[in-house]
A = this chain, B = another copy of it.
């Protein structure tokens, strides 16, 4: 809380209201750490609202010496409007998650400069010249740092908050600290795990080409069982403090840096949900890529890089996660004393591999769920949306749905990440009936 920093004791300062430009300027002028970073006279600061997410206001504020990003939660879902209220407390959970993540994965989340809980406001360092990774992927840009950074983020935030690393009492405290973020969890439960598979007012898809597939998905009981099992896992498996919304729109990048933003969906959930979010969104980038071609085949190198990245994300994540497990096993799970001696070490390592296989299976299921929701549900993404020709877009989407359905229902065929990228390559050449 910032009250100690502000000389102006305006009683309205901490009362929630939506901050518009003038109000925000006055507010930030009263926060010395922020004012100092911006530099110059407050009246000269430039302020622009740039939020393109689904939930919040985001301002970029620049002064003579630097800039900050200001995120304010609205009491409703921005994408939908006041008819869909959403608690401001998500800002508290985002702040809490940013704090944890900064400790677990230093340098991979934005530095928080100021937080005001009643205002549901977080002021962070301005990331420049970073862009939202999804935009870069649409443009066909490769990010050489990405694999190393995101796998460090995933391995460290997931492993180091799990029962493998943390004593059970501390972990239970963590679960309780995030349990109140249930309104955000409910969005995921509904929009990812339920609505795309049934008639729901907010669903949309590229019509008319995907009408038949959307209808088939609503009738597909194999898929409904699979998504319900994933939903049960999302409800019932507080394995680690997960980001909860780790798509490529929650990652800011340059060619030499990667920063994970927007953890307002954070809670203790299944690890595979975060890893699956990254992989599912990369698979969408891959299958959408042909839709952004200017000349046939002009993005083939980019696409090869995306597939290689899919493979490397899993293998590097698994390598780092196992390395942490071998060196920082401070949790109550798999106590070392039960695996003493050489034979014990060998057996524990075999069990670690089996653990990773189970996590891989979860990850593929969640990756598939993240793909389907972006094509048949409420929230879509620019990977597809920026493909102007709707039929061309529908072809990319139909391929993605075909891959996702197989990953979810026929999980036994996807035992390795190589099997997934091979299937992705195959489906890229598949023509849906409407395209023939």
Residues of A participating in the B interface, judged by any CB pair closer than 8 Å: 163, 168-169, 171-173, 175-176, 179-180, 182-183, 185-186, 189, 194, 197-198, 221, 224-225, 227-228, 231-232, 235-239, 332-335, 337-340, 343-344, 347, 351
A194 CA to B335 CA, complexed, in Å:
8
> In the bound complex, do residue A337 and residue B175 qualify as a contact, i.e. CB atoms below 8 Å apart?
no
Residue numbers in B under 8 Å from A344 (CB-CB): 221, 224
A197 CA to B347 CA, complexed, in Å:
15
> In the bound complex, do residue A179 and residue B182 qualify as a contact, i.e. CB atoms below 8 Å apart?
no
Q: Can you sample 24 A-B contacts with CB below 8 Å?
A: A163-B235, A168-B182, A169-B182, A169-B183, A172-B179, A172-B180, A173-B179, A173-B182, A175-B176, A176-B179, A176-B180, A186-B332, A194-B335, A194-B337, A198-B337, A221-B339, A221-B343, A224-B347, A228-B334, A228-B335, A232-B333, A232-B334, A236-B238, A236-B333
A214 CA to B351 CA, complexed, in Å:
23
> In the bound complex, do residue B347 and residue A231 qualify as a contact, i.e. CB atoms below 8 Å apart?
no
> In the bound complex, do residue A179 and residue B175 qualify as a contact, i.e. CB atoms below 8 Å apart?
yes
> In the bound complex, do residue A237 and residue B236 qualify as a contact, i.e. CB atoms below 8 Å apart?
yes
> In the bound complex, do residue B351 and residue A225 qualify as a contact, i.e. CB atoms below 8 Å apart?
yes
> In the bound complex, do residue B163 and residue A232 qualify as a contact, i.e. CB atoms below 8 Å apart?
yes
A198 CA to B337 CA, complexed, in Å:
7
> In the bound complex, do residue B333 and residue A235 qualify as a contact, i.e. CB atoms below 8 Å apart?
yes
Nearest Cβ in chain B — how far from A317, in angstroms?
19
Q: Interface SS of chain A: helix, strand, loop or mixed?
A: helix
- A343, closest chain B residue (CB): B221
> In the bound complex, do residue A338 and residue B194 qualify as a contact, i.e. CB atoms below 8 Å apart?
yes
- A333, closest chain B residue (CB): B232
- Among B169, B228, B351, the residue within 8 A (CB) of A186 is B169
Copies, count:
2
Starting from the known contacts A175-B176, A221-B343, A221-B347, 7 additional A-B residue pairs (CB-CB under 8 Å) come to: A172-B180, A173-B179, A173-B182, A227-B338, A235-B333, A236-B239, A236-B333
> In the bound complex, do residue B176 and residue A189 qualify as a contact, i.e. CB atoms below 8 Å apart?
no
- Among B176, B197, B231, B338, the residue within 8 A (CB) of A332 is B231
A133 CA to B22 CA, complexed, in Å:
72
> In the bound complex, do residue B225 and residue A332 qualify as a contact, i.e. CB atoms below 8 Å apart?
no
Residue numbers in B under 8 Å from A169 (CB-CB): 182-183, 185-186
A339 CA to B232 CA, complexed, in Å:
15
Residue numbers in B under 8 Å from A343 (CB-CB): 221
Residue numbers in B under 8 Å from A333 (CB-CB): 228, 231-232, 235-236
- Among B168, B186, B231, B351, the residue within 8 A (CB) of A235 is B168
Residue numbers in B under 8 Å from A338 (CB-CB): 194, 197-198, 224, 227-228
A335 CA to B235 CA, complexed, in Å:
13
Residue numbers in B under 8 Å from A339 (CB-CB): 221, 224
A180 CA to B175 CA, complexed, in Å:
10
Question: What are the 8 closest A-B residue pairs judged by CB atoms, nearest first?
Answer: A176-B179, A169-B182, A224-B338, A221-B347, A176-B176, A172-B179, A163-B235, A172-B182
Residue numbers in B under 8 Å from A168 (CB-CB): 182, 185-186, 189, 235
A189 CA to B170 CA, complexed, in Å:
14
